[in-house]
Amino acid sequence: MTKWEYKVLTYPISEFRKKLPNYQEMEAELNSLGAAGWEILNAVAPGRGQGQATEVVLIARRPAAA
């Protein structure tokens, strides 16, 4: 049975409100994570209080080192 290591990445939504995201930088970061064996499982924007999300959360996993 595969054992997994997990990583949680957070990105403040306020940064996206200031300027448009740089998709090339985002792709580079995701490719770097992929090269290190990470696989993005899910992305969520959990609501706070009145349902306003303050961040985007990515959940990633890779096989744990033996």
Enumerate the β-bridge partners of residue 56: 11
Q: Which domain holds residue 36?
A: 4-46+53-63
More confident site: 15 or 44: 44
pLDDT tens, residue by residue, 16-61? 777 777 889 889 999 999 999 999 999 998 887 777 888 899 999 9
| Structure confidence at residue 22 (pLDDT) | 82
pLDDT score, position 13: 81
pTM over the 0.85 mark = no
What long-range pairs does 23-28 form, CB within 8 A, spacing at least 24? none
Q: How far apart are CA 31 and CA 1, in angstroms?
A: 27
The confidence score (pLDDT) of residue 27 equals 94
How many structural domains comprise the chain?
1
Please spell the DSSP secondary structure of 4-19, one letter per residue.
EEEEEEEEEHHHHHHS
